[in-house]
Amino acid sequence: MENKQEDTKNTPKVNLSLKKNLFSRTLVALVLIIIIIPCAILGDYVYLALIFCLSAICCHEVIMAPQSINHRYKSIIYIFAYLMMFSLVFWLILKDNLDYFLESQRLGTEFIFDLKRGFDSPQISIMAFFISILFFFLMVMLDKNFTINDAFYFITMLFVVSFGFQCILFLRYFPFVDAAKAGMDSTTDNFKYLTSALLVIFVVAADCLFDVGAYLVGSMLGKHKMCPRISPKKTWEGFIGGFIFSVVFSCLTGYLLAYFGHPLLSFFDLAHWWNILILALVIPFTATFGDLIFSTVKRNFQIKDFGFILKSHGGMLDRVDSIIFSCIAASLLLVAMSNNWLIFLWYINYAF
């Protein structure tokens, strides 16, 4: 009887806490949606500025996380980290416009800077990767307080986060590449501001719905812990609930758009229905994987959140951790799909 009375007393508190947390999460999400969706629709330099600001905030949080248990880093670490982050995020734009500029100089033609140039596939700069390794290991040799663990942490985190933001850029501008391949007109205002923006909104929305579904179902029904050592609140019930939320939304949205003649991409039509299904199935897994990886980093540095810019919801990295991995996976899948999956055969031939 006593246990039953205690459960009865605790139930309203749990429900009240759940409602408050859900309201707070929803409010933060709405604020971010109000800021992000218009920027995604407008595209061009507005979207570029958004990605610049978000990557700058995340870079700051990457730098600050180890300092919870270590000393403050030297200024040169800050400067190099920001430079490397920005150069990697905007690598596609910088590389392809530079190539086009050199080609126009050689041919004597007019050079026009284009933000959408070069987004046929995400790319990692091998030169930047090598420079990062040299710099951070040089710091290990010169600064006795900068350990080899710090070096590996910075190399890994900078490349994961920057590649994630590059893929968020890629998802916004890849529809222009796909339209050119399919012989579609991408110069209309409708395509420029709406159709081309749907892809990145679709992927981010699928990820967010997975997060919301996992939180709701996990809070109410969660019993079996998924990975208690890293993320004690994550449950298999929550994962299944979020998975259903995300996949149903993704499939319904993708198939309805295709049915009414407005597919997200040329290979997302009803004739290629499996492409939509594959992407829908992959997003929940990569979202969970990304969340757990960043939770592992926080556990290692004994911090609850990466920052406090979003008040009780922590830092920007705490909100975009799953989105980063979902966008990376979606971008790589889209490249394979756009080449009829033949790119995997090319990789196999190249490797062996």
Q: Return the number of other C-beta atoms located less than 10 Å from residue 182's C-beta.
A: 12
Q: Which residues of 138-155 are buried (b: 16+ CB within 10 A; e: fewer)?
A: ebbeeeeebeeebbebbb
Which residues, in sequence order, are CB contacts of 157 under 8 Å at separation 6+? 62, 297
Instruction: Label residue 7 by pLDDT band (50, 70, 90).
Output: very low
Instruction: Decide: 180 and 190 in contact? Cβ < 8 Å.
Output: no
* Residue 45 near residue 159, CB atoms below 8 Å: no
Could you count the other beta carbons within 10 Å of the beta carbon of residue 175? 25
> Has residue 76 got a pLDDT over 60?
yes
| Each residue's pLDDT tens digit, 219-237 | 888 788 888 888 888 889 9
Contacts of 19-25 spanning 24+ positions with Cβ under 8 A? 21/219, 22/215, 22/216, 24/312, 24/313, 25/212, 25/215, 25/313
Q: What is the pLDDT of residues 113-171, one digit of tens each?
A: 778 877 888 888 888 889 999 999 999 999 888 889 999 999 999 999 999 999 999 99
Position of tokens 């990886």?
293
Task: State the pLDDT confidence band at 17, using cuts at 50, 70 and 90.
Answer: low
